[in-house]
Structure 1
């Protein structure tokens, strides 16, 4: 199914000149991965600290875009500049899950958002990434299938945060919003699992 992840090659093309300069300056993929996680924790902490304020929600879409950029940068540094490492693989997987939890779970504290929907979405998102990694255990490659991968989650949560910050989202609508996201997330789990098994059978 379509996913924002499909746009990754074009996004990387835009970032490549900056990534080249960063590599020349000695910036490492692991440093970028850790920075992305720290930025996510900071942004999530702001939401948790000021759940009644609109400004943490207003800056969340910018934070999510910045995080996605850093995620693309660390991957490019690792692949294109010989920085792949076992530590980097661990940091990358852990960083993604920690960042998702840090950014999204504090939304459950925001009065205008249905907390049960947030918690269900976060739990399902963790299972999505776990399913992608499990593919390696059955002889397949790491799965990034959609329709609710990391980039897709960032887009839809960023949109929700924007609507809430502008006062364009009614509190009772957020349950339906998260219900749809959870459904798509469960569908993603199925897609990743089935394609991992299909690929392993071919191998």
Structure 2
């Protein structure tokens, strides 16, 4: 199914010159991974401490875009500059789910947003990433199947942050948006589980 993840290769091509420069400067994949996590936690704290404030909400799409770029760069550093490591794999997977939680859970504090939907979305996001990793455990491959992976979640929450920053506080609008996200997150879990099993069977 369609997903923002399908644009990843083009995004990486744009970032490759910067990636080469970082590698030449001695920057490691793990340092980039930790930088992405640190940035996410700082933005999450701002969203939590200043719930509903204009600037943190306006900055959210920017932070999410930078995080996406850092996530792409750490992968390229690992693969293309011989920086793969067990620690890197652990940091990469944990960093993604911790960043999601830090950035998205503060939305549950807003009075016009259903906290249940937001928490449910974050929980399903964690399960979805875990399902992707299970593909490796059963001898298939790490699954990134959509329709609602990490990049798609970033688009949804970035859009919501932008709408909120400019005054859209309709509870119905966010019930629809986050409700749709919840359904797509559940479908993503099913798709990743099915794809991993099919991949294993065809191997």
When normalised by structure 1's length, the TM-score is 0.98
What does residue 18 of structure 2 align with?
A: 18
* CA distance 1:16–1:157, change in 2 (3 Å): same
Between 1:164-173 and 1:189-198, the stretch displaced more is 164-173
What does residue 188 of structure 1 align with?
A: 188
Distance in 2 between residues matched to 1:25 and 1:173, nearest whole Å: 46
What does residue 199 of structure 1 align with?
A: 199
CA distances 1:30-51 after superposition (whole Å, capped 9, x unpaired) = 0000000010000000011011
* CA distance 1:192–1:167, change in 2 (3 Å): same
Where does the alignment leave 5 or more consecutive residues of structure 1 unmatched?
none
Shift of 1:15: 0.4
Distance in 2 between residues matched to 1:164 and 1:173, nearest whole Å: 11
Shift of 1:88: 0.3
Say yes or no: does 1:116 pair with 2:116. Answer: yes
Where does the alignment leave 5 or more consecutive residues of structure 2 unmatched?
none
Give the alignment of 1:1-203 within 5 angstroms.
Answer: 1-203=1-203
* CA distance 1:54–1:171, change in 2 (3 Å): farther
CA contact (8 A) 2:149 2:188 kept: yes
CA contact (8 A) 2:121 2:182 kept: yes
* CA distance 1:59–1:110, change in 2 (3 Å): same
CA distances 1:74-133 after superposition (whole Å, capped 9, x unpaired) = 000000000000000000000001000011011111223221111111111110000000
Distance in 1 between residues matched to 2:146 and 2:30, nearest whole Å: 26
Distance in 2 between residues matched to 1:200 and 1:52, nearest whole Å: 46
What is the number of residues matched between the two proteins? 203
Shift of 1:27: 0.3
SS at 1:172's partner residue?
Answer: helix
Distance in 2 between residues matched to 1:183 and 1:171, nearest whole Å: 18
CA contact (8 A) 1:52 1:111 kept: no
CA contact (8 A) 2:5 2:149 kept: yes
